[in-house]
Structure 1
Amino acid sequence: MKTYFSLLITVLLLCASCKKQQNSTSKKPKLVVGIIVDQMRYDYLTRFDKKYGNNGFKRIINGGFSLENAHFNYIPTYTAVGHASVYTGTTPVNHGIIGNNWFDKYLEKSIYCVDDTNYSTVGNTSEAGKKSPYRMVTTTVTDQLRLGQNMRNKTIGIAIKDRSAILPAGHTANGAYWFDGGEEGKFITSSYYMKELPSWVQEFNASGKVDAYLSTPWETLYDIATYTESIADDNNYEATFKGEEKPVFPHNIPALRAKNNNYSILKGVPAGNTLTTDFAKAAIIGENLGKSEHTDFLAISYSSTDYVGHQFGVASKEIEDTYLRLDQDLASLFTFLDTNIGKNNYTLFLTADHAATEVPSYLQSLKVPASYFTSRKFLNFLNATTLEKFQSEELILNISNFQIFLNKEKIKELKLNENTVAQTIADEAVKFKGIYKAVTARTMQTTTFTNGILNSLQNGYNQKISGDVLLVPNPSTISYPKKGTTHGSGYSYDTHVPIIFYGNGIKHGSSKKKYEIIDIAPTISNLLEIEFPNGNTGKIIEEALH
């Protein structure tokens, strides 16, 4: 009998303990931190693994839930599109951000994704703050969190790039801040959000941190001889800073800043990420994030990784050093969150807005198929085609972002059939070297592609604003100089990125199942018990959640 009662008491105590644990894990986080690392390939996690410390990337991988087979499911894979897609849970077909810049077929000129002349700069006298998220036509998870709490919480967006701060923060943000380089060297915002900078931003701008980070050369964090995961430092595939003879370490930033637009050089060195981390910490304190009864949201984007990748390429020692230093920045941020928010009081995710291809000229040296696409030669080719087929060289208004925009007025004037012209151009375009596929807007509207590269193309096609013919280049074919690299395709080197969840409400583990970048927003929405973004097409990643 005594044994029975002892067993009963033990069971009751265990049940109470389980219930207590359930209650503690079901409590909503006080702060959600969304981290996007600009141009981060998934293999940066594995390639540099042995050099990472235990408190940065490894901490959230080992203590959180990592998706090893996560991809973007649309074309084009550009910065603005990526940031919008992560936070809206959908693709350009719905959210309307089809590039960083794109040709506006109604205005017949190129436009920038967040430009808005209805607003003015707050923080200095430049034009860099005339911005807003109005071209993004759906809500974000950050919007839904504000709406779900009757606008009583706070949302703040932070990045070096304007678009990377504005789009994640959504339409209802309390503030979005970005770095204005040149002769300014300050974080600014737009009158869309406020009339003047908060005192904590003014104090940060006056602190001298920016000049401090530009006062020393960029040298490798560790002995460069140990950077065996990268190609030789002196090679023909990397671009130099203006004023440099070779793209090699050390990079004398104090001596180079004058020839590289002064404070703007900070964008292209690892210190830009450290500055972003410092500013994020200042925002947490200055805005009292995570201190109220409501859940706040801090959206951080690390932009310098993209600038370094573009200039030096994905196999460079510069990119390796940048990620080793970012690992330390992340470790510092996570420790700060532990101290100021509490280990069980925050949830975060880390992902990228796109990845990048190896430098094509480097691949060519290894006999790997790769090439460069020249828009001018392509336009001449198409003009010759339309002259032969339709007796006119004026049928094409613009070629950009691998899209062709037709001159509708000229087609009408010549009494031609618009669909016939588009299909003829598409049929001829695939004959041009470097073009793999060409599909008309009409095909995008009348055919459903359920998988493959054309499915990605269709997910990125917006009937209202996209072009009349959409192009898919061959793998590792880019429109870019021969030194450095870029992104934008639907191939795995551009689409395969990390997605890591960590903190309150997140399981420990990993998955090799294929997930899409648009699955982040509904997963976070479900964890926070709020409505999905209103254009959402993603799904909940159930295995990541408690």
Structure 2
Amino acid sequence: MRFLRFMITAVVLSSGCAPTSNQKTPAPRLVVFISIDQLRYDYLTKFSLHFGPDGFNYLLNRGANFAECHYGHATNETAVGHATMMSGTYPYRHGIIANDWYDRSLRRKVYGTEDTLAPILGAKEYGKTDGRSPRKFSGTNLADQLKLHTGGQAKVFGVSNKDRSAILMAGKMADGVYWMDEKFGRIVTSAYYMNDYPEWMKTYQASKPLDKWKGAKWDMLLSPDEYPKSEKKFEQYYDVKAGIGGAFPHIIGSENDKKDKNYYEALMRSPFSSEALLELMEELMIRENLGDDAVTDILCVSFSANDKIGHMFGPMSREVMDITVRTDRYLARLFKFLDKEVGLNNILFVLTSDHGVPPIPEIIASRQVEAYRLIPDTVRQIAETEMIKKFGRLAREQRYVEVIEEANLYFNDAALAEKKIDKNIAEQYISTFLKNNVKGIDRIYTSQQLSEGRIPNDAISQAVFKNYYSGRTGDLFLVLDPYCIWSWNGKGTDHGEPQSYDNHVPMILAGVHWIKPGTYYQRCSPVDIAPTLAAILKIEQPNATDGRVLNEIIR
């Protein structure tokens, strides 16, 4: 009996099981936070037969997979999602209400990470509005809290193809944030983060790492029989960009044999930009020694090609299937590299997305589902014409309605003052008029409603409320009917609505010492990630967190 007890004890100790409550759980040496832009949750199930064991399945089999993860804000766009996933709060607190919004004091559109005080380093070609920083983000995120907790010892870096993704994930105190400029083909950062590039980055930039795919062929990774059938009649609605072509094989940057003209833009709309991002991440990991000591570091990585491809071809296309399957292989490469450098058992992983996407309207409409495109300036002109009918022509100002930007309609305050029109009256009048006369608009909220919290308790109304930030949100907030999108050129698809196809995203947390694996079906949100990681890391949560600690998955 004594021998039997000894053998059972030996087996348990050598089995590689997670630590019990009597064992001290080590802190992660590295948190790797992965965002895959425009990755709908259903892609993980729809394309699962084509995934290998070491990419998505590595996390799904070893991590906590939340099957009902939904954003709770209304404007499901890149800047909003990335700001939310790392802060644990919504736009009504962090202030990033959209990718762009209208600045009333400047009387122009501004970009969510635009900063005229933080110019791009090392290039004179950029203008003042090309400067980038997280200054428009209000408060702190998880990375900032880790910096504060460790007295600055923790290293925090962010990398992405898009500036807004890297910037809003890595926070205000990051050691470095790098992104890819598709106009000049450079890997860049801004003066917000540093005065000059480190020597390793100067050497890396000099090697022109983004140039190697000129003329490269993007063909189907799998047999053509594995992909959905391509319907020629819908190809006219693909938003094909110059330098990439409209069908497989896509030759990158070689339209009209002018390989350089559109090459960098085409590169960012191909899977090869994900390969470029992996190479950058690997170089940074080695040069900055991430995960090399007992102080937890954070690496934020956001893959943007999936989004750009999704906008062009839509979620039902062969191209979207192909980039998703390729992303599985890219994750496998990433995990293999991280295992070699840090050891997978020393890493806490998070994988999620910033938003989903609806089908191209013409394609879903052919399946007997109502779907429309609304052109923002056309809707603005309809509102303008009605204001003129109601209140008369302006003498000094040019227009009553300045712009519709990302579901926000902004009145011209000077025009209203010229005609002595109470803004609340204008809001109510145009809100009712547009709702009754423009097909595709589901509901409209006035800024007075939102500022006073006078809204219904349904999910869409609450999502709009969580998107309201005084001074940035428009005078009217327009919500479209399901499967309707804002469209500028009548092609491709777009996202940004409080609908399931836009807000349902993957959320997987994995780490052998910290996370209980399994599939979880309770409703949750990416705002739950930051408080959960804060609990695991034993640090203070970001300020004003809306999410909860996912106690059910913590070992």
TM-score range, shorter chain: over 0.9
* Aligned equivalent of 1:395: 400
SS of residue paired to 2:178: strand
The answer to whether 1:444 aligns with 2:453 is: no
The structural deviation recorded for 1:202 is 2.4
Contact 1:35 1:349 in 2 (8 A): yes
- Structure 1 residue 460 displacement after superposition: 0.5
Within 2, Cα distance between the matches of 1:163 and 1:64? 28
Unaligned residue ranges in structure 2 (runs of 5+): none
* 123 and 510 in structure 1: CA distance in 2 versus 1, 3 angstrom threshold: farther
Deviation per residue, 1:323-366 (Å, 9 max, x gap): 11111110000111111111211101011111101000111222
Between the aligned partners of 1:234 and 1:378, the Cα distance in structure 2 is 26
Alignment correspondent of 2:510: 502
Q: Distance in 2 between matches of 1:16 and 1:53?
A: 31
Q: Return 5+ residue gaps in structure 1 as ranges.
A: none
Return 125-134 or 264-273, whichever deviates more.
125-134
* Superposed CA offset, 1:105-148 (max 9, x none): 22211111111111222243332762111000111101001101
Kindly report the root-mean-square deviation, in angstroms, between the aligned alpha carbons of the 2 structures: 2.3
**TM-score normalised by length of structure 2:** 0.92
Q: 1:459 aligned to 2:466? A: yes
Q: Secondary structure at the match of 1:300?
A: strand
Matching residue within 460, 469, 480 for 2:476: 469
8 Å CA contact retained: 2:335, 2:344: no
Q: Which moved more, 1:444-453 or 1:20-29?
A: 20-29
Deviation at 1:260, TM superposition (A): 5.3
SS state at 1:171 partner = coil
Q: Distance in 2 between matches of 1:303 and 1:505?
A: 29
Output one character per residue of 1:507-539: Cα deviation in whole Å (capped at 9) or x when no partner.
110111110121111111111111111131111
Aligned to 1:520: 529
Deviation at 1:410, TM superposition (A): 2.7
Q: Residue type of the partner of 1:509?
A: G
Check whether the contact 1:242–1:259 (CA below 8 A) recurs between aligned residues.
no
Which stretch shifts more, 23-32 or 65-74? Answer: 23-32
2:501 paired with 1:493: yes
Is the 8 Å Cα contact of residues 234 and 363 (structure 2) preserved in structure 1? no
Q: In 2 relative to 1, CA 426–259 (structure 1 residues): closer, same or farther, beyond 3 Å? A: farther
Partner of 2:190: 190
Shift in Å, 1:483: 2.4
Q: Is the 8 A contact 1:267 1:304 kept in 2?
A: yes
Q: What is the TM-score when the length of structure 1 is the normalising length?
A: 0.94
Aligned counterpart for 1:537 among listed residues 542, 546, 554:
546
1:117 pairs with 2:116: yes
Letter in 2 for 1:418: K
Equivalent-residue separation in structure 2 for 1:32 and 1:23 (angstroms): 24
**Aligned partners of 2:89, 2:229: CA distance in 1, in Å?**
35
Distance 2:417 2:120 in 1: 42
- What secondary structure is seen at the aligned counterpart in 1 of 2:225? helix
Q: Secondary structure at the match of 1:430?
A: helix
Assess, with a 3 A threshold, how the Cα gap between structure 1 residues 286 and 177 changes in structure 2: closer, same or farther: same
Task: Give the Cα separation in 1 of the matches to 2:77 and 2:288.
Answer: 31
1:160 aligned partner:
161
Displacement, 1:19?
9.8
8 Å contact from structure 1 (residues 230, 315) kept in 2: no
Aligned to 1:99: 98
Deviation at 1:293, TM superposition (A): 2.2
C-alpha distance in 2, partners of 1:517/1:207? 37
- Report the equivalent of 2:219: 219
Q: 1:409 aligns with which of 408, 414, 418?
A: 414
Does the CA-based 8 Å contact 1:354-1:495 persist in structure 2? Answer: yes
Residue 205 of structure 2 is aligned to residue 205 of structure 1: yes
Following superposition, the deviation at residue 230 of structure 1 comes to: 6.7
Q: Taking structure 1 as reference, are residues 535 and 255 closer, same or farther at Cα in structure 2, changes over 3 Å only? A: same
| Percentage of pairs with the same residue | 33
Q: 1:433 to 1:448 in 2, by over 3 A?
A: closer
- Contact kept, 8 Å, 1:237 with 1:313, in 2: the verdict is no
Q: Report the Cα distance in structure 2 between the residues aligned to 1:490 and 1:131, rounded to whole angstroms.
A: 28
Distance in structure 2 (CA, Å) of the matches to 1:61 and 1:19: 17
| Distance across 2 between alignment mates of 1:322 and 1:51 | 12
Q: Aligned partners of 2:349, 2:135: CA distance in 1, in Å? A: 26
Report the Cα offset of residue 99 of structure 1: 1.2
Q: Which whole-Å CA distance do the structure 1 matches of 2:385 and 2:265 have between them?
A: 42
Distance in 2, matches of 1:333 and 1:542, equals: 28
| 1:345 aligns to 2:346 (yes or no) | yes
Deviations 1:62-95 (A, max 9, x none): 1111000101111111111110011111111000
Cα 1:19–1:300 shift into 2, 3 Å: closer
**Residue of structure 2 aligned with 1:433, choices 414, 439, 442:** 439
CA shift at 1:291, angstroms? Answer: 0.6
Q: Compute the displacement of 1:15 (Å).
A: 9.3
Cα pair distance change 1:404/1:392, threshold 3 Å:
farther
Q: Which SS does the other structure have where 1:150 is aligned?
A: coil
Which residue does 2:376 correspond to in 1?
A: 375
Segment of structure 1 superposing worse, 504-513 or 250-259 = 250-259
5 Å matches for 1:219-368?
219-228=219-228, 235-242=235-242, 247-256=246-255, 258=259, 261-368=262-369
Which residue matches 1:41?
40
SS at match of 1:454: helix
Could you tell me how far 1:385 is from its partner in structure 2? 2.3
State the distance in 2 between where 1:20 and 1:54 align: 25
* Aligned 1:12-51 pairs, distance under 5 A: 21-22=20-21, 26-51=25-50
Note closer, same or farther for the CA distance 1:274–1:24 as it changes in structure 2 (3 Å cut): farther
Give the Å deviation of 1:215.
4.1
Give 3-state SS (helix, strand or coil) of 2:249's partner. coil
Deviation at 1:448, TM superposition (A): 4.8
Q: Which deviations, in whole Å up to 9, do the C-alpha atoms of 1:283-341 show, x marking residues without a partner?
A: 11110000122110000000111111111111111111111111111000011111111
Q: Write the distance in 2 (CA, Å) between the matches of 1:262 and 1:351.
A: 29
Q: 1:143 to 1:486 in 2, by over 3 A?
A: same
Aligned 8 A contact 2:30 2:346 in 1: yes
- AA aligned to 1:93 is Y
d(CA) in 1 for partners of 2:277, 2:333: 12
**1:234–1:105 distance in 2 versus 1, CA, 3 Å:** closer
SS at match of 1:293: coil
Q: How many residues get paired?
A: 541
Quick check: 2:253–2:260 contact (8 Å CA) kept in 1?
no
**1:45 partner SS:** helix
Residues 234 and 206 of structure 1: is their aligned pair in 2 closer, same or farther, counting only changes over 3 Å? Answer: farther
Contact residue 34 and residue 350 of structure 1 kept, 8 A: yes
Alpha-carbon separation, structure 2, partners of 1:254 and 1:72: 36
The 1:424–1:68 alpha-carbon spacing in structure 2 relative to 1, beyond 3 Å, is same
